[in-house]
Amino acid sequence: MKPGDMKAAVLTRYGGNDTVEVRDVPIPAPRSDEVLIRVRAAGVNPVDWKVRDGQTRILTGSTFPKILGIECAGEIAGMGAHAKKYSTGDQVIANTGMRLGAYAEYVAVAEKTVFPKPHNVSFEDAATVLIAGLTALQALRDKGKIGPGMNVLINGAAGGVGTFAVQIAKTFGARVVAVCSKGNADLVKGLGADRVLDRRQQDFTEAGETYDIIFDAVSTSSFGGCKRSLTRRGVYVNTLPGPSIFWNILITSMVPGKKAATMMVSQRADDVAWLCDQIGTGKVKVVQDTVYPLERVQEALAHSETGTAKGKIILSVA
């Protein structure tokens, strides 16, 4: 490796995992409003292999090579001229968005998308907060208006978002019914689920129970299919924006009763701080499926693509 270079997971073209390789590339120089982060861990999310496939090309364009990854945790290694919030060595969490770049030893990120990492939260745990953690929190609290005594169903409860959602729902005093495979039942019960439905054996929409919130963390259902399983003022929330859910959001916004919603996560400092506090004090546990070294990024993406991860998949970059 030449001086000034770093290791990074580089996408050479859109396609399968054969388009991703770990190679030496120049360390980026931060712009005036950016900070340079020495990455210690990066979260692996479904959006990463969707970027790889080209499903997000309208946002990511067709210029290559690209460095994959949208969330990470690490230490401040440098600052642009107008970046004043942090100092070298500060531990932080960052979201790169569709500029990508988190699957690398260093990444330059806009200072406004960087948040403090508490010292009592590991880099691996912190690297899961900005996508999975915030999605679960904002879906239940902001979209679902969760409160004590509510009956909440979480579909995909054993995944990265789902494991956060089960625990967050319990912190708000809700009763949680979790939908997952039979093999993950003990996991979600251990996270606080009051009842578990085997997704292969029982269709939750046929069970006859109604819910104040149905949070589909894996977006395998629809508002139409879940409508009869909602209480009179129940809310259905998914994580996959698209024409169907937007149409249902529009229609249900014009009349009283059951509502449809979808999640587009917002990077809010108070939410990041709340989640980090919950993790640091042990009230919310980050469920780590597998921590892969950067060199095994292809395996990490393939694992995510199966949809069978128990909790979060993470890349260790340190």
Tens digit of pLDDT for each residue in 18-49?
999 999 999 999 999 999 999 999 999 999 99
| 161 and 79 within one domain | no
- The one-character DSSP state at 41 is E
Residue 215 Cα distances to 159, 169, 236, 248, angstroms:
13, 10, 6, 15
Across the chain, mean pLDDT equals 95
Would you list the DSSP string of 199-217?
A: TTT--GGGS---EEEEEET
Asked whether the predicted pLDDT for residue 180 surpasses 90, the reply is yes
The rounded percent of the chain whose pLDDT value lies above 70 is 100
| 293 and 215 within one domain | no
| 118 and 200 within one domain | no
Q: What is the pLDDT of residue 291?
A: 97
In a domain, 190, yes or no: yes
Q: Are 117 and 92 in contact (CB under 8 A)?
A: yes
- The one-character DSSP state at 159 is B
| 182 and 98 within one domain | no
Q: What is the pLDDT of residue 1?
A: 62
The domain spanning residue 307 has which CATH number?
Answer: 3.90.180.10
Give me the number of domains the chain comprises. 2
Q: What is the pLDDT of residue 207?
A: 81
| 114 and 149 within one domain | no
pLDDT digits (tens, 9 = 90+) for 100-151: 999 999 999 999 999 999 999 999 999 999 999 999 999 999 999 999 999 9
Closest to 111 (Cα-Cα) out of 139, 81, 133, 141: 81
| 113 and 139 within one domain | no
How many of the other CB atoms lie within 10 Å of CB of 262?
A: 21
The parent domain of residue 51 ranges over 5-128+286-316
Q: Is 62 exposed, middle or buried (0-12, 13-18, 19+ CB in 10 A)?
A: exposed
In a domain, 277, yes or no: no
| 212 and 142 within one domain | yes
CB contact set of 282 (below 8 Å; sequence gap of 6+): none
Closest to 260 (Cα-Cα) out of 277, 285, 243: 243
Q: What is the pLDDT of residue 250?
A: 96
Closest to 238 (Cα-Cα) out of 314, 165, 315, 312: 165
Q: What is the pLDDT of residue 217?
A: 95
Closest to 8 (Cα-Cα) out of 123, 119, 96, 111: 96
In a domain, 270, yes or no: no
| 86 and 42 within one domain | yes
| 253 and 173 within one domain | yes
pLDDT digits (tens, 9 = 90+) for 251-266: 999 999 999 999 999 9
Computed from CA positions of residues 68, 73, 75, 76, in that sequence, does the dihedral angle turn out positive or negative? Answer: positive
Q: What is the pLDDT of residue 202?
A: 84
- Measure the CA angle with vertex 245, ends 171 and 128; round to 5°: 40
Write down which residue in 225, 246, 262 finishes a domain.
262
Residue whose tokens read 């009592």: 120
